[in-house]
Amino acid sequence: MLLTYQPADVSDLEALFAFNKKLIDQYEDLSQIPYQKVLAWVRQKLEQHIQEYTCIFAEGHKAGYYHFSPMDSNTMELDDLYLFPAFRGHGIGTAVIQKCCAETSQPIMLYVFQKNTSAIALYQRMGFQIQCTTQNVSRTRYIMRRG
């Protein structure tokens, strides 16, 4: 499958927000977070960093998005990787992670919801390991690291 990439722009904000909201709704413990405040933070983050996101195209069709950037001077972060449902299970996520890994010699870290077992399995196949539970960002997410 031919994958191509283009920078995201403001027209992608609503799709990215919808991906974020769906994951929060599906995997977060909503009784333990200030839900509206979290959604406002997500929207603000997207609006401020939309130019750092990349659109993934599979055979010319928009398949999803990812955000890969420096976390600090020694670590890269795969902050978001979203695929539209019709494009899941076709190796696109694997290809994007391989692309990110090829772009840096630095360690890569990411956050993943503990209940998102399919994402965790993908990241583990790609060499990421769950970090010590004392480093978890919350009771619902793991920090994973490669390298």
Instruction: Read off the pLDDT of residues 67-84 as tens digits, 9 standing for 90 and up.
Output: 999 999 999 999 999 999
- Band (pLDDT 50/70/90 cuts) for residue 140 is confident
Question: Per-residue pLDDT for 61 more than 60?
Answer: yes
Q: Identify whether the C-beta of residue 65 lies closer than 8 Å to the C-beta of residue 56.
A: yes
Domain ranges in the chain are: 3-146
Distance between CA 78 and CA 101 in Å, rounded?
10
pLDDT in tens, 11-37: 999 999 999 999 999 999 999 899 999
**Looking at residue 139, what is its pLDDT?**
80
Interval 104-112 mean pLDDT: 96
Considering only residues 135 and 69, tell me which one the structure prediction assigns the higher pLDDT. 69
- The count of residues in the chain is 147
- CATH architecture of the domain 3-146 equals 3-Layer(aba) Sandwich (3.40)
The share of the chain scoring above pLDDT 70, in percent, equals 96
**Looking at residue 109, what is its pLDDT?**
96
Mean pLDDT in the chain?
A: 94
**Looking at residue 133, what is its pLDDT?**
56
Considering only residues 131 and 66, tell me which one the structure prediction assigns the higher pLDDT. 66
Interval 90-100 mean pLDDT: 97
Nearest-10 Cα torsion for 4, 8, 11, 12:
80
Burial of 132 (0-12, 13-18, 19+ CB in 10 A): exposed
Rounded to two decimals, the pTM is 0.91
Question: Per-residue pLDDT for 40 more than 60?
Answer: yes
